[in-house]
């Protein structure tokens, strides 16, 4: 696979509203060629505080965030011709991602293909359950930065893919 995108989203745990969409474009399976990272404004005060605290953002910067509709348009444009979207447990999030894109006035393009790394790892290594990304990253010696941050989870997922592939060959 020449190019793919690792995508992660963060959702509010009570409203299921997307609060962050992030992705990294991987070329030749070796390096990060580009990244997309966007927090999404929310009418919920809890979401606002969470975004400001976890991103270390000033309130004035939060108020300047683009809308969900603009974020979705920008993400689709950023994807360009890439169709393979890789993620940790992304199949479980696919429904929420589709709903977020609908709210953002844009459906998921039909040619996008979701590849769930957690599912591949679970089957390949005969785990009884999907291991958490954080736990597997720790075992593989991949540094953990912020938790509950979509961009950091994309980078962690890429680290897991690289570590496992260097040890055991291609995952997908």
Q: What's the CATH code of the domain at 161?
A: 3.30.420.10
Residue 122 structural domain: 3-168
Q: Given this model, what pLDDT does residue 54 score?
A: 80
Average pLDDT of adjacent 10-residue blocks, the chain of 172 residues:
91 84 94 96 88 88 95 94 93 86 86 94 90 92 84 96 94 92
Q: Given this model, what pLDDT does residue 121 score?
A: 95
The domain tally of the chain equals: 1
Residue 6 contacts residue 37 (beta carbons within 8 Å): no
Q: Given this model, what pLDDT does residue 1 score?
A: 61
Tokens 């020449």 belong to: 2
Helix, strand, or coil here: 129?
coil
């Amino acid at each position: 696979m020449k190019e793919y995108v690792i995508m992660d989203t963060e959702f509010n745990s009570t409203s299921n509203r997307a609060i962050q969409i992030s992705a990294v474009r991987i070329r030749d399976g070796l390096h990060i060629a580009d990244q997309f990272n966007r927090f999404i404004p929310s009418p919920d005060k809890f979401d606002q505080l969470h975004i400001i605290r976890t991103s270390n953002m000033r309130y004035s910067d939060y108020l300047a965030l683009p809308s969900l509709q603009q974020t979705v348009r920008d993400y689709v444009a950023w994807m360009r011709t890439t169709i393979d979207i890789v993620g940790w447990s992304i199949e479980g999030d696919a429904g929420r991602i589709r709903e977020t894109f609908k709210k953002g006035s844009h459906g998921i393009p039909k040619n996008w293909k979701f590849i769930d790394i957690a599912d591949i790892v679970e089957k390949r290594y005969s785990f009884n359950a999907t291991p958490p990304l954080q736990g597997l990253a720790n075992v593989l010696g991949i540094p953990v930065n912020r938790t509950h941050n979509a961009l950091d989870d994309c980078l962690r997922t890429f680290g897991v893919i690289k570590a496992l592939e260097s040890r055991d060959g291609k995952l997908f």
